Structure 1
Amino acid sequence: CIHVSKLVIDSKKEKQPKRDRRMLCARLSCLQDDFVTDIESLHSNRYFFSDQFRMSLAHDVSSSRGGLGLPGTVASHIPIIVLQRLRINISEVCKEYRERVLQECKMTVNNTLRDFIDANNHPLLLTMLEKTTDDVFKKQNCVLENHHADIIEWENSTYSSNHYFMDTVQSIRRTIFDEESDKPSYLMGLNPTKIKSLSNDDQKLIDTQIEIFAYWKLMKKRFADNIIMSTYSVLVKKPIYTLLSKGMIGAVLRKNDKDVVSLFSPKGDVIQCKQRAAIKGLIIFL
């Protein structure tokens, strides 16, 4: 967690907008919750058991159905195609999350710099360090963008060794066929009597709906964790705890002696103000 206590600085400053004084980790936690909510809201549970989804799935199945296979057989590539469609907007959600984390981190570091370095007394030093900060975060954001692209590409492979998938499938089937159980609202349209009256093809269609729904639940949890963990590692932990300190020191050391003096010297009008105050004090003393 990063938290900087408010420092008392003698020089007068322009009134700044009210800052969020929560720790960075608290603000990032809120962004993580928002990101998970955004992933969840891409497709509600109800959508997977809606007439719209069933009709779309039925069209995919019928267009690829052949004469081979057991009654009600669904081609293995159909769920993969459907999952690809479900993921179509996922990169935009990641991009928005990445940009929001980037802004929070940059704002935290820049505010910290301004707390410790008086902009009136050392404007050149502050400007240089802010540019160093911007360069470091810009580079790390590019690295993270590539990481996120890899994670999104991983999900093109439909695979998991996690038992959560089949556990979810079996749980939904038990819920549907247990007439005394409390069904979630998205399963209210399914009951044993209705399912038994359907054809082989339509019953298999419901099985496929359940399996796609179960895999989507597993995938979005895994995906959200991977995105959040990679974001913290690349855009928060590494730049703030490792790269920035080295980058800032390096930026100063690359300057020659004359430039270093300029960086740490007060601005001209500040020097003149101090000189006038000193002369005034001397006159009073005399």
Structure 2
Amino acid sequence: MATPWNSRGLLLLHELRMRGTLSAVAAARSYSASTVSHQLQQLEREVGLPLLEPEGRGLRLTAAGEAVARHAAQLLAAEEALRGELAALAPDAAPLRIAALQTSARTLIPRMLDALRDALPALRVEVIVTPPEHGLFETEAGGFDLAMAEQYPGHTRPHRAGLDRELLGRDPIRFAAGPASGIASLSDAREAAWVMEPEGTAARAWAVQQCRAAGFEPDIRYEATDLSAHLRLIAAGHAVGLIPGLAVAADEAEPRLVDLPGSPHREIFTSTRVSAQRLPGLRIARDALAEAFRSLPET
């Protein structure tokens, strides 16, 4: 009888295929790099074929390694689906881990937590506010069970293997300036100081494109991931920006809002692994987020 392959080695090979380096896998799993390397070497012996080969200073998967990693993903998904079915019988057995958008922390997340507490009081829920790029990647990798994400007009996000999507709603985006500002349109803001999210984010890319379409390169003097900081700078007259309605609903600052041509909006959606859909509380969390979004006052 063939010796069964060790499940930890399969998991680590799958992680290496996703994360790219042994050090990244070690950090994600709280192992030492030597432990990861030892487990992968053991898996190679069990499979009987080389799974990794040198590439520069790192390693890459061989053709056999790619094949084993793909099948490992399927095995891990089947195991997770079974765990979800069993966890439904004991919903306090494992936490529900959620990656949340910063703009949802004050508006949507409390409503979701209320619904989960009422339906499953024994369930431990863990929420981390993190950029959607990180949340989606870690949900695919198993670090989160549910991610909230956004996508801007013309900047759709890649569909990740094994993840589904459910639309929460469409969030209008408006130009925002200080109450005393005389700027009445986007094209009037060419000389203004701008606040935007950091480079590499979908929000930043979209905002810069809007300015360029209006005929100018924005003078970006302030960067922050926290949209509350954007709103405070704008309301105090120090900057202008493009602000989604969910951020306005979550903050006391009162900037002057101007509609943009075409009434653009970002789409807010939730995403989970298909294999995780039966985890206790997941359906309740998604429904509660959608209901909370629908009940928001129009901004």
Q: TM-score, normalised by structure 1?
A: 0.21
Instruction: Tell me: higher relative CO, structure 1 or 2? Use CA pairs within 8 A at least 6 residues apart.
Output: 1
Pair member with larger Rg:
1
Structure with the higher fraction of residues in strand conformation: 2
